Structure 1
């Protein structure tokens, strides 16, 4: 995994697993969380522009499918009973806001 650039920028921090010194977990830093919060409005505006051509029904279907993919991803990335996977901060985009 190539994380050195993000680590050098101070956006992620690696933490060794105390039970298995061969592995580590990666966490977002406060700097990364701040950048996510600051950039979220522009990101949502861009997503809304991308989806502007979708009908309300298509927007609802897209959001439903993305929610299913997110659930699958969360299940797939769950490590085991001893480890939890923290999801990144999420931004809600409602179908009504994606109308042209």
Structure 2
């Protein structure tokens, strides 16, 4: 591989940068590489985008359905983005949009049977891809990394609460 192909976020870090900055750039580089690989695999294997997969994952966890606003908050994207994704999935009969029971201006979105079946297949493949990407780490290393990232997450949450 060429140097340019290997260049990523971490490429910007230098030995004289603070260790925290180098760590952040390495974490960002790893996250970006994993996400890019998942995007590619979803596209190749299921002809679906990561945002559509993520929306279906949210709905799979909530069989009663979620409102468009809840989906927007959970996925941290605008309502317009959610509407576009739901429109696509609805055309493919993977989701069903229903007028809200308490508010006729809102919609609840649910997976259809076809959507649940399609997502189940994608979820199995997704888990295998992730396991394969982390296979270079031993079980102990994965456990250590999980623990360390948990400590970082806890510290970040604590800082948010204090702000």
User: Into which bin does the TM-score normalised by the smaller protein fall?
Assistant: 0.5 to 0.7
- Quick one: distance in 2 between partners of 1:19 and 1:41? 36
The two structures, once aligned, show a CA RMSD in angstroms of 2.4
- For the residue of structure 2 that corresponds to 1:22, the secondary structure is coil
1:41 lines up with 2:117 in the alignment: no
Larger Rg: 2
- Quick one: distance in 2 between partners of 1:62 and 1:13? 36
> Which residue of structure 1 aligns with residue 137 of structure 2?
54
- Quick one: distance in 1 between partners of 2:126 and 2:87? 25
Shift of the alpha carbon at 1:48? 1.0
- For the residue of structure 1 that corresponds to 2:126, the secondary structure is helix
- Quick one: distance in 2 between partners of 1:40 and 1:20? 32
What stretches of structure 2 of length at least 5 have no aligned partner? 1-81, 154-163
Q: How does 1:69-84 map to 2 (within 5 A)?
A: none
- For the residue of structure 1 that corresponds to 2:136, the secondary structure is coil
Shift of the alpha carbon at 1:56? 1.8
Moved more, 18-27 or 51-60: 51-60
Q: How does 1:1-100 map to 2 (within 5 A)?
A: 1=82, 2=84, 3-60=86-143, 61-62=145-146, 65=150
> Which residue of structure 2 aligns with residue 72 of structure 1?
none
- Quick one: distance in 1 between partners of 2:142 and 2:89? 33
- Aligned pairs, number: 66
Which structure has the highest helix share of the two?
A: 2
Moved over 6 A (4+): none
The alignment's TM-score, normalised by the length of structure 2, stands at 0.35
The alignment's TM-score, normalised by the length of structure 1, stands at 0.54
- Quick one: distance in 2 between partners of 1:28 and 1:35? 10
Which structure has the highest strand share of the two?
A: 1
- For the residue of structure 2 that corresponds to 1:21, the secondary structure is coil
